[in-house]
Amino acid sequence: MSAKLFEMILSRKGHFQVGVSDNPNEIVTRVRSGGIDLIVMDVSLGGATYEGSPIDGVGITRLLKENTSTRSIPVVLATAHAMRGDRERLLAESGAEGYVAKPILDHNAFLDLVKSLVGNGVAEESP
């Protein structure tokens, strides 16, 4: 359900071309193939595996940030983990450039965050 909301906000309000996947192998392959300007990564990918091992959005983001061909692609972590300290911890663990708490209440602030990162700006948080 969150993916549908992100897709709707980004495509309808932001006029971005959006692809959605919850399969880690597909995500890594698509990002490595090029043409991706930004990734909105859900922190929790329940039951997801990559190369036979369990992985979550933080792990996938780390993989992408460790690879020289994908490390420059900005990643916004999306999570319901919105407790004090979670933003800082998740950004540090993953290497992501942005963080947004779900559910997204302020669609315009989310779009501003995405636009700032796609435009090579620096942003870490959406209110």
- Tell me the per-residue pLDDT of 81-108, one tens digit each, with 9 for 90 and over: 778 888 999 999 999 999 999 989 999 9
Distance (Å) of CA 54 to CA 58, 105, 113: 12, 30, 29
The answer to whether 125 and 99 have CB atoms below 8 angstroms apart is: yes
- Say which amino acid occupies 95: G
Which pLDDT belongs to residue 120?
45
Whole-model pTM: value is 0.89
**pLDDT tens-digit map of 10-53:** 999 999 999 999 999 999 999 999 999 999 999 988 789 999 99
Assess if residue 126 is contained within a domain: no
Assess if residue 127 is contained within a domain: no
Can you say whether the dihedral through the CA atoms of 120, 85, 78, 53 is positive or negative?
A: positive
Assess if residue 80 is contained within a domain: yes
Mean pLDDT, the chain, whole residue set: 90
Closest CA to 40 of 92, 68, 2: 2
Q: Tokens 């971005």 correspond to what residue?
A: 16
Assess if residue 107 is contained within a domain: yes
What CATH number is associated with residue 112?
A: 3.40.50.2300
- Our count of domains for the chain comes to 1
Going by the DSSP 8-state scheme, the letter that residue 11 receives in this structure is I
